[in-house]
Amino acid sequence: MSGGDDRRRPPRSESDILRAVDDYYSTRLRGFGPVHLGVDWSSQESQRLRFDVLLQAIRTTTAFSLIDYGCGYGALADHLASREMRHCAYIGYDISASMLEAARRRPCPLISCRYVGRNEPLPEGDYCLASGVFNVSLGTEPGVWFEYMTHVWDEMNRVGRRAFAFNCLSASSDVDRRTDLLHYADPARVFDYCRRRYSPWVALFHDYPLPEFTVIVRKPQPGA
């Protein structure tokens, strides 16, 4: 089999997944630039709605730190500022070097912004949020992709001191609108996994007009 055929095979391991996803989003960015289409969202409105649902994880009006896991070009930093959360110390993480370069070129609207890549230590923060990072599976076998998701959740749980939150495309979405390049997760399975592994304080949101769901995992705090 030729090298070209090898590159077209679905990712089979975590290293394959990271490489394929990096290539996919770097190509999107080159094609569309640092806008919603560059990170594969159909509209700014849907991108902002996803952010708003994820931001329900934050329960403080004072200064806090936040890790944007899969930050892309840094759109969440702008959204935080638009929601009067300029007191956020923002840490953007992405596996794509080109995305991080685009993010670093943008003005920071918050009290602080910094960006780290996959070869750098990921610091802790009060909250860790991930929007869209579990969608583009590029044909990866569902069992392999779910295991990959659990590894990411483990890391989000490690670095998010108060809570972590993420969204997934829903297996309850219309079958005729699906594509083999995307992963559709079972909301009940994801909720049960997070509740058993991370915390009894888990919320599942499946009540907004997008074909997905959001999970928020709150961590018991000392003295609570």
Q: What is the mean pLDDT of the chain?
A: 89
In a domain? residue 223: no
Which residues of the chain form beta strands (DSSP E)?
64-69, 88-93, 112-116, 125-130, 160-170, 184-185, 201-205, 212-218
Give the count of domains, the chain: 1
Q: What is the pLDDT of residue 30?
A: 78
Per-residue pLDDT tens digits for 137-147: 988 999 999 99
Per-residue pLDDT tens digits for 157-194: 999 999 999 999 999 987 777 888 899 999 999 999 99
- Identify the segments of the chain with pLDDT beneath 50: 1-7
Q: And the tokens for 196? A: 């058993």
Which residue range forms the structural domain that includes residue 120?
Answer: 3-218
In a domain? residue 79: yes
Q: What is the pLDDT of residue 177?
A: 76
Q: Domain of 33: which CATH number?
A: 3.40.50.150
